[in-house]
Amino acid sequence: MNSNRGFALILIFLLYLTAVQAQEGLQLEGRYADPSLITQKAFVEEILYTAGYVPEQIQVYQSLPNHAHVYRVILDSVNGGFLFIRWDKNKKEHFIANKM
């Protein structure tokens, strides 16, 4: 009985450590009311993590006017894609655009 309880405590502790380590990669959380490249990249990371993806690499593929960027996302050696992120200066927020 005690061994099961000890195992359960160790398992809970390991799950806690995993959750803490997963959050270390995020630089910023919450609203991104800043059009800078750093906050825009953090926005992309949070969108991907929320969707359940853990990317290997996120890089700026192309910079466009008005704080818009195309990001190349590499998920693994086979899968990846591109995200087009724009800045809405009226709402002061980043959004994923579907048109370039």
Domain boundaries, the chain: 30-96
With a cut of 90, say whether residue 15 has pLDDT above it.
no
What gap in Å lies between CA 46 and CA 21, rounded to an integer? 15
Helix (H, G, I), strand (E, B) or coil at 52: coil
pTM of the shown model: 0.66
Average pLDDT over residues 52-74: 93
Q: Is the dihedral of CA 12, 14, 16, 19 positive or negative?
A: negative
Tens-digit pLDDT profile for residues 19-37: 555 555 545 556 677 888 9
Tokens of residue 73, six digits:
């996302």
Tokens of residue 22, six digits:
């997963």
pLDDT at 1: 56
